[in-house]
């Protein structure tokens, strides 16, 4: 299985048209068609449903698409690292970030770093902790910023300054908005929206076994979509402070939980990881910033 052919395959999957993909790739349509047929023969699976004007992925094709994207991400990352070996004025680093206001401290470290390395480029991938850790384990990113205690057997880490405070996001017109703090009894009968990670690690830590009686009407992995559901009357969102717009012009407000519930954030990387020169220099900068 050749890297070049995987790029061909992904372009066809994106355009859903062999002729259009061939034009973008600057090869002939018969050549492209032959390469894909050979790939299907190699894998022993049909990758596309062939319609009169479009091509759509089979189940096997959808699996290959995910695998091909990961493989090509790794290939591109490795290529960038080798390009950077003789170019310490720049290079590329990939970072996975969970959602938190604390990311601003990482941004400040990168801003300062770029003053010394103006050709440095960063690539951020957002997601929940589980998603960014998966990318870290696959070697698709260099560092991860996560909001749960790291596995010390697998990762080295730095603790970021500050904490994330949990609270309830609701309409400003809701009767609970008149309260300064929200206790468990306030939540007990409400339709709640929360991340699965938050329920598993944080809310259970806050209220113990009573978490089982909460009415969880839905889960989200990023808070913005949850806030839209709140606006549409689908429930109340349990989330970190400062992630949702609750300013003067917003229809929503945030009230902290009582007793106070806080979550720390960590920058982690794999133990014994070999960094590119620019990634190693950025890590030194992060250590000086948070150490």
What's residue 80's pLDDT?
73
What's residue 21's pLDDT?
87
Tokens of 14: 């994106």
What's residue 232's pLDDT?
96
For the chain of 291 residues, list the mean pLDDT of each consecutive stretch of 10.
Answer: 88 89 88 89 90 87 90 82 63 92 93 90 91 92 92 93 95 96 94 93 92 94 92 96 93 97 95 88 90 67
Tokens of 90: 């720049």
Note the pTM of the prediction, 2 decimals.
0.69
In our burial notation (b when 16+ CB lie closer than 10 A, e otherwise), range 229-259 reads bbeeeebbbbbbbebbebeeeeebbbbbbee
Q: CA-CA distance, 209 to 222, in Å (whole number)? A: 25
What's residue 273's pLDDT?
87
Instruction: Characterize the bridge pairing of strands 192-194 and 236-240.
Output: parallel
Tokens of 218: 């839905």
Q: Angle, nearest 10°, between helix axes 59-84 and 3-15?
A: 130
Domains of the chain, start order: 3-73 (1.10.10.10), 87-162+265-290 (3.40.190.10), 164-261 (3.40.190.10)
What's residue 85's pLDDT?
55
What's residue 207's pLDDT?
93
Tokens of 277: 């020169």
């Amino acid at each position: 299985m050749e890297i070049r052919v995987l790029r061909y395959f992904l372009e066809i999957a994106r355009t859903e048209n062999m002729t259009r993909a061939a034009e973008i790739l600057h090869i002939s349509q018969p050549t492209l068609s032959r390469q894909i047929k050979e790939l299907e023969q190699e894998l022993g699976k049909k990758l596309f449903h062939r319609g009169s004007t479009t091509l759509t992925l089979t189940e096997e094709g959808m699996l290959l698409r995910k695998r091909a994207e990961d493989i090509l991400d790794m290939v591109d990352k490795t290529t960038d690292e080798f390009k950077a070996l003789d170019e310490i004025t720049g290079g590329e680093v990939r970072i996975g970030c969970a959602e938190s206001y604390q990311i601003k401290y990482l941004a400040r470290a990168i801003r300062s770093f770029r003053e010394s390395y103006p050709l440095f480029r960063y690539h951020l991938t957002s997601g929940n902790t589980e998603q960014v850790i998966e990318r870290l384990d696959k070697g698709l990113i260099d560092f991860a910023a996560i909001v749960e205690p790291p596995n010390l057997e697998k990762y080295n880490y730095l603790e970021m300054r500050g904490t994330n405070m949990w609270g309830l996001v609701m309409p400003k017109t809701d009767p609970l908005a008149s309260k300064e703090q929200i206790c468990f009894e306030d939540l007990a009968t409400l339709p709640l929206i929360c991340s699965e990670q938050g329920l598993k690690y944080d809310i259970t830590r806050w209220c113990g076994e009573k978490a089982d009686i909460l009415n969880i009407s839905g889960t989200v992995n990023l808070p913005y979509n949850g806030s839209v559901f709140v606006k549409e009357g689908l429930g109340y969102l349990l989330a970190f402070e400062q992630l949702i717009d609750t300013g003067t012009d917003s229809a929503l407000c945030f009230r902290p939980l009582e007793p106070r519930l806080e979550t720390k954030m960590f920058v982690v990387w794999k133990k014994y990881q070999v960094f590119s020169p620019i990634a190693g220099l950025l890590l030194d900068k992060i250590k000086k910033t948070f150490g």
